[in-house]
Amino acid sequence: MAKKTLLNEKEIHIILHRLACQLIENHQDFSNTILIGLQPRGIFLANRLVKLLENEYRIKNIILGKLDITFYRDDFRRREDPLIASKTDINFIIDNKNVVFIDDVLFSGRSIRAALTAIQDFGRPKNIELLVLIDRRFSRHLPIQPDYKGRQVDVIKNEQVQVIWKENDKKDMVCILNT
Amino acid sequence: MTQLSVNNLLGIKHLNKDDVDLIFKTADHFKEVINRPIKKVPSLRDITIANLFFENSTRTKLSFELAEKRLSADIINFSAAQSSVKKGESLIDTVNNILSMKVDIIVIRHPNEGTSDFLSRHINAKIINAGDGAHEHPTQALLDSYSIREKLGSVKGKKIVIIGDVLHSRVALSNIYTLQLLGAKVKLCGPTTLIPRHITKLGVEYEKNLTKALEWCDVANVLRVQHERMDIKYFPSVREYTQLFGINKELLNSIKKDIVIMHPGPINRGVEITSDVADSKQSIILNQVENGVAIRMAVIYLLAQQIKR
């Protein structure tokens, strides 16, 4: 299996700072903003951004929720492997809030479609934005585009984008696997 | 593990520990769902479920119905009292007619032991046993153990006493299987006439003295005295039963520890348990009912996952 590094630790570090600054530009003090990490892999990115915003940019009281979309997916019973749910942790109402979805890779857009349905069960947000670390171009099945993106990549269908986080695998890295 | 090892839920006897753990883990997620402002997920939009109740039920029927609705399944309800069963239609005919309406899952309660097992061998749909005679009531046992896990942190190593009419109780048998799978110790307590003769062969002990049983246990699961199933006299009088095996506040106060009180419902208040105990802080009877919806959602979801179109 061929493996090519797309982003190294330093590049990810710079990108995270840029994404944090872009969020601040649009959301200022985050008083009416809620960040939602999408389970399972968006949580790492969401936690990192929150840490950065709090420690480096001195923004207080950021609200972060975790949303699991397993029960809202459109491929339930259509795939070979069963789906495994993760924890949803949103103990607040999102009525009239600016919601930002955070995920690692945007591919077909189907997860985001499911997240858009799921989030409605917690209220009616004022608007919803999407932040992703990697935007895979030309692979969308639905008309969904990110508002904030770390890096845009063009990869063919049998290539897989893998995001590795320090919390799991000792280092931060984004690579492309040829399967 | 991500899938159940069984194709139907006929009884706990057919499950292994991984199955129970998977059901509990899935139920944790659904418990969060049913506490949201909008308590519904669209997972089972294309699934149709028939609830066939050949015997009376309040809690189980409502709980299954609610679980199915929370998962967005389409449901049809059937109760024997208002049906062609009264005209002499056989069980298989009834069920096959319902199945030709394109039903995917059948939830069945029936007064005869083994009905769900029999159906599973003759029809092509997922079967969930919602109680068959005095045999098994798997979802009740699952929600009981789930409630113990929630209250005490885990089931493993805990001491549970099942008190009362074990003979007529499907809840007792399913509970014994589940608790043993999860590593709990089980004792039975009740009049000897209401304890099945060979039940200790399942690895459970029998304690005749209620006070001793309560002193031993962490959890007391109090069963209903099933008057409607008693064709002969099993004890001299209800008053005597209450004096010997009824749980009341004075008795609980005389025991030097706080034990958790459970009851599968419906309660005969003042017979097997007094109101002040049933409504006390020690009682988790209403938590059991809430958890019942989450557990049933988990079971239905996991079985539906196996249906391929």
Q: Are residues B275 and B299 in the same domain?
A: no
SS3 A53: helix
Q: Are residues B276 and B215 in the same domain?
A: yes
CB atoms within 10 A of CB B17: 13
Q: b/e for B43-79, b at 16 or more Cβ within 10 A? A: bbeebbbbbbbbbebeebbebbbbbbbbbebbbeebb
Q: What is the pLDDT of residue B265?
A: 87
User: Which one has a higher pLDDT value, B307 or A76?
Assistant: B307
CB B259 within 8 A of CB B217: yes
**Predicted confidence (pLDDT) at residue A123 exceeds the cutoff of 80:** yes
H or E segment at B297? helix B285-304
> By C-alpha distance, which of B298, B34, B66 is closest to A88?
B34
**Residue B44 in domain:** yes
The complex scores an ipTM of: 0.79
Cα–Cα separations (whole angstroms), residue B260 to A167, B161, B184, B271, B278: 40, 10, 15, 19, 11
Q: Which domain holds residue B280?
A: 138-288
**Residue A3 in domain:** no
**Residue A166 in domain:** no
**Residue A179 in domain:** no
CA distance B192 to B181: 26
CA distance A96 to A111: 23
Q: Are residues B293 and B273 in the same domain?
A: no
**Residue A50 in domain:** yes
Average pLDDT score over chain A = 92
Q: What is the largest CA-CA distance in chain A?
A: 47
**Which residue in the block uniquely carries the two structure tokens 């669209």?**
B42
Contacts of A70 in chain B (CB under 8 A): 29
Contacts of A68 in chain B (CB under 8 A): 29
**Residue B177 in domain:** yes
Q: Could you tell me which chain A residue has the CA closest to the CA of B71?
A: A71
CA distance A138 to A152: 10
Q: What are A139-171's pLDDT values in tens digits?
A: 899 999 999 999 999 988 888 899 999 888 889
Mutate to test the interface with B, among A67, A77, A83, A97 (most CBs of B within 10 A): A77
Q: Is the dihedral of CA B1, B5, B8, B12 positive or negative?
A: negative
H or E segment at A83? none
- CATH number for the domain spanning A118: value is 3.40.50.2020
User: Which one has a higher pLDDT value, A77 or B56?
Assistant: B56
CB B206 within 8 A of CB B151: no
Pairing of strands A98-106, A33-38: parallel
**Residue B1 in domain:** no
Q: A121 and B36: CB-CB below 8 Å?
A: yes
Q: Are residues B26 and B144 in the same domain?
A: no
CB B22 within 8 A of CB B147: no
Q: What are A79-105's pLDDT values in tens digits?
A: 777 778 889 999 888 999 999 999 999
Q: Are residues B64 and B173 in the same domain?
A: no
What's the domain count of chain B?
2
Q: Are residues B31 and B75 in the same domain?
A: yes
Q: Are residues B47 and B101 in the same domain?
A: yes
Q: Are residues B98 and B178 in the same domain?
A: no
In Å, how far from its chain's centre is CA B62? 13
What is the block-wise mean pLDDT of chain B (309 residues), using blocks of 10 residues? 92 97 96 91 94 90 96 92 74 86 94 94 93 96 97 96 94 97 97 93 95 96 86 86 94 92 93 94 95 97 90
Q: Are residues B122 and B242 in the same domain?
A: no
Q: Are residues B148 and B283 in the same domain?
A: yes
Contacts of B40 in chain A (CB under 8 A): 121
Q: B304 and A117: CB-CB below 8 Å?
A: no
What tokens does A15 get? Answer: 């990108």
**Residue B188 in domain:** yes
Q: What is the pLDDT of residue B2?
A: 84
Separation in Å, CA of B37 to nearest CA in chain A: 6
Q: What is the pLDDT of residue A117?
A: 94
CA distance A25 to A27: 6
**Predicted confidence (pLDDT) at residue A56 exceeds the cutoff of 80:** yes
**Residue A84 in domain:** yes
Q: Are residues B174 and B131 in the same domain?
A: no
What tokens does A89 get? Answer: 């942790």
Q: What is the pLDDT of residue B137?
A: 97
Give the pTM: 0.90
User: CB contacts < 8 Å between A and B, how many?
Assistant: 50
**Residue B5 in domain:** no
Mean pLDDT, rounded, for A28-55: 94
Which amino acid, residue A49? L
**Residue A158 in domain:** no
CA distance A70 to B43: 8
Q: Are residues B120 and B220 in the same domain?
A: no
Cross-chain CB nearest to A77 (options B28, B71, B309): B309
Question: What band does A10 get if pLDDT is binned at 50, 70 and 90?
Answer: very high
Q: Which domain holds residue A16?
A: 10-152
Q: What is the pLDDT of residue A25?
A: 96
- Residues in chain A, total: 179
- Residues in chain B, total: 309
Q: Could you tell me which chain B residue has the CA closest to the CA of A119?
A: B38
CA dihedral A59, A61, A64, A65 (to 10 degrees): -170
- CATH number for the domain spanning B151: value is 3.40.50.1370
Q: B42 and A71: CB-CB below 8 Å?
A: yes
Q: B40 and A121: CB-CB below 8 Å?
A: yes
